[in-house]
Every structure is written in C-alpha cells, then in structure tokens.
Structure 1
Amino acid sequence: MRLTFLGTGSAMPTGTRMQSGYLLETGGNRLLVDCGSGVLHALARTEIGYEAVDTVLLSHHHLDHVSDLDVLLKARWLAGETALTVAGPPGTSQLVRDLLSVHDYMEGRLDLTLRDLDEGTFELAGFDGAAFETRHSMQCFAYRLAVGDGPTITLGGDSEAFTDLVEFADGSAVLVHDCSFPDDVDVSNHPTPSALGRTLAEADAEVGRVYLSHLYPHTEGRHEEMLDSLGEQYDGDVRFAEDGVTITVGAR
C-alpha cells in the first residue's frame, strides 16, 4: 500500500504545510482521507491527480479537514468526473448538502453518494475499514484501513493521546498520530510529545512506524526537541510526516 502525505499541517498555515489530507493507494483502490485547505493542489501534483480519486473519507468536520471539499466537487465536475462518494462521521451527508445549498449552481451536477458512518467496521473504495471515536472538541474518528490481508494503516485523526486509541491501531504497519504542539504549550484536544510518548509506551499494542502530523507553526524548528521528549518515554520508530512524501507500506 502507498500512503502520500498531502497535508500535515493544521488550522494555522505555516506556508510549507497544507492542511490535513492523506492519499491511500493499493492496486486500483484509491482513497482520500480528509480534504483541508491546499489538499486539492497537493493531490493535483500526484501522478493520478484529483480526477482519479472518487472517494473521500472525513475524520471530522473542522474546517482544516474539509475546506477543500467543495473545491474538489467543482474541480471534478469541470474535469468531467461527476461521481464522488463522501463518507465520514454522523452529519457528513448533511455537511455536503449544506455546502451545495450555499453553492447552489452545483446542485444536481454530481453523482454523489453520501455515507454517515458509525464506530465499527465498514467497506469503502475497496478498503476494509474500522472507525473509532477519538477525544477531540467535536466528534472525530480514527480509521484503520487495509485491503484483504495486506498491511494496515491507522490514521488517528485529531485527538488527545490515550491508550485506547493506540490499542485500536494494534498490529498496524503505520500509525499517523496528531502531535500538534511542543511540550511547553498548554493544550487540550491535541497531544504534546511527552504525553504521546507516555501513551505509546503504556498502551498494550504493537505498531510499526509512527508518523507525527497535524503540526501547528509552534512545532517549526523544534522537531529534534520534540522527538527527544517523546523518546524519553517510547523507544519505537517515530518520525515527522512531511508534505509530498509517499511511503510504501508493507507488513508491520
């Protein structure tokens, strides 16, 4: 499976990181997870472009995860690709309908399939998925995604660090986890590296590589410091996610 980091930033632009967006590919299966500001441009830079991605899975409805969704709707219509599936937590169908009501000239131009998911298993765009609710300021889902017996990738969404979320990712080859701020920022709904390191160490789970994402400007120039802080608690393979990087994921 291939994972491309389209956007590893947050609601506060840095000039170098787009807002949240991840592209998963395996065989002919393609899935866009989250669609924040700048993700459409990042997707256009990939080999397949936005024309070949007909399914979007949203972790939650904060602006930095959905703000390019209506832009994607229009771009696909202009490109002649009118079929699109959008799935996510409860309220996703209404979110898309509300966007279309604001941009009413787009109503009826797309062949939309809208799905509101609950916690538990689902199938989407050829992927076997599972959803788990995180600890955030609005309902947000983390997702485990795989195809058949292939490797599993867990995208943790926005969340505080807690052991149940890491244990949800047990057996994953890759866990992408929120690490929005360094330790000296007093924050809720997102973790600092020391909190995340402690949680990774305490969880009854084995994961492969951990990628830190959803990075606020406060983290710029402080990556080594943050990795050192996390590493005082957890000795696994942890790296910072970077926009535009594609990794090939094998078995854990």
Structure 2
Amino acid sequence: MIEITFLGSGGGRFITITQFRSTGGFHIKASRNVYVDPGPGALVRSWRYKLDPRKLDAIFVSHRHVDHCNDLEVMVEAMTGGALKKRGTLIASKSVVYGDETHTPAISKYHIDVLESVHTPEPGNKIAIGEEEFLITPSQHSDPTTIGFRMKTAYGDISYIPDTAYFDGLVEWHDGARLLIAAITRPRDMGIPYHLSTDDAVEMLK
C-alpha cells in the first residue's frame, strides 16, 4: 500500500506569504518515506498530521524557489536525528545544491555532510529508493535545472510535474502513470510563463 499526504498544495509568491493555501509539499509513504518539495510549513504540518519527519528516508526537491525548498534544511536535520546520524538521501535540482546566478544554495555544506547520499540528476537518470525507482523527468521553468519524477511502484507509476511550461514531450514522459500530480497555477486562459494552466492540464489528460 502507498499513502500520499498533501501538506499544502499552494505555491507562488503571494500564496506563500499569505498562506491562504499551505505550501508544505507532500509526503509519500511507500517502502520508504519520501518528502517532496518541503516548502514553508513542511515541518509544522508534518507534525500536525502525525508524519514524524525523523522517519524520513529521502527528500526530493524540484527546484530552488522558496515555495518548494524553504524547509529543506530543517527536514534534513529531522531525517538525520538532529544532524547526529549520517543517513537519508537527497534528490534535488542542481540549483538547490549549488545555487545559480540569482540564488545561493538551498542547503548548507553542514547539512549535505550529514546525508548518506546526494543526487543532482539529469532527466532520464534513475535512482532507487527502497523498492521504488525514480525516473527523473524534465521541466521548462525559469529555474532551468528544475526536475520532476516518475516513481515506479508495484501499484503503478506516480508522476510529479512541478512548475513548468507546457512543452512537446511532456506527455510522453508521464504517459500511462496511474497517478499524476501536477503544479497547476492558473485557470483557463490566465496562464503565466513557465507554469501550467488548467487548459494545459486538459490537453495532457486528452
């Protein structure tokens, strides 16, 4: 059995600073516990919903924007028992680990050093976490290193499409997944650059 708990489906700068919709990301409980995009509120909401962050095995961060990575370091501290035990896996975009032209890294060397493994993969790379395999998928976002995933499980594939523009090939990367989780920012014809709208979602579903 696999359980997915959403700790906040909000995103974008204005929702993030108002918290009209929480921005904590989501938790996957499969053969291992994986946290995806720990934005602001990830730690607090994990405890609120009785998801002990000390039991995490891996964290996935799609890109460096604060609504996706704000709570990364504190979740790493929880996963590593207060940074006292070297354990856990981080799968993250290059911008999260190394920073870019406009952002510092989202994680310090101190926190990297307490992790058992750190991956900054390219689309097409595969990473095993327990019995599940993560196929890294591409995005086209203002952070050009943004990545998503297709998680292969015994119950079918779970796909995650983070912030991205709609592009040729997006459907092929996720076609046939049993469950599709996608960041949809605006309704209908109100789309903004580098993000999906509900119109894009309809086209994907077709």
Gaps of 5+ in 2: none
For 1:144, the aligned partner's letter is R
Counterpart Cα distance in 2 of 1:163 and 1:56: 28
Q: In the TM superposition, what is the alpha-carbon distance from 1:113 to its structure 2 partner?
A: 2.2
Q: What is the root-mean-square deviation of aligned Cα atoms in Å?
A: 2.7
Q: Per the alignment, do residues 195 and 122 of structure 1 end up closer, same or farther by CA in structure 2, a change over 3 Å counting?
A: closer
Q: Using CA pairs under 8 Å that are at least 6 residues apart, name the structure with larger relative contact order, 1 or 2.
A: 1
Counterpart Cα distance in 2 of 1:152 and 1:35: 22
Q: In the TM superposition, what is the alpha-carbon distance from 1:18 to its structure 2 partner?
A: 2.2
Counterpart of 1:169? 174
Q: TM-score, normalised by structure 2?
A: 0.80
Q: In the TM superposition, what is the alpha-carbon distance from 1:29 to its structure 2 partner?
A: 1.4
Counterpart of 1:113? 117
Counterpart of 1:46? 49
Match of 1:94 among 94, 98, 102: 98
Q: Answer yes or no: is the 8 Å Cα contact 1:120–1:132 preserved in 2.
A: yes
Counterpart of 1:151? 156
- Are positions 1:6 and 2:7 aligned together? yes
- Are positions 1:33 and 2:41 aligned together? no
Counterpart of 1:196? 201
Secondary structure of the 2:108 match is helix
Gaps of 5+ in 1: 202-252
Q: How many residues are aligned here?
A: 195
Q: Which structure has the larger Rg over C-alpha atoms?
A: 1
Q: Per the alignment, do residues 61 and 107 of structure 1 end up closer, same or farther by CA in structure 2, a change over 3 Å counting?
A: closer
Counterpart Cα distance in 2 of 1:159 and 1:81: 35
Q: Answer yes or no: is the 8 Å Cα contact 1:161–1:199 preserved in 2.
A: no
Q: TM-score, normalised by structure 1?
A: 0.67
Identity of aligned residues (%): 23
Counterpart Cα distance in 1 of 2:35 and 2:20: 20
Q: In the TM superposition, what is the alpha-carbon distance from 1:78 to its structure 2 partner?
A: 3.2
Q: Answer yes or no: is the 8 Å Cα contact 2:163–2:196 preserved in 1.
A: no
Query: 1:206-228: per-residue Cα shift (whole Å, max 9, x none)?
Result: xxxxxxxxxxxxxxxxxxxxxxx
Q: Answer yes or no: is the 8 Å Cα contact 1:121–1:128 preserved in 2.
A: no
Counterpart Cα distance in 1 of 2:112 and 2:107: 10
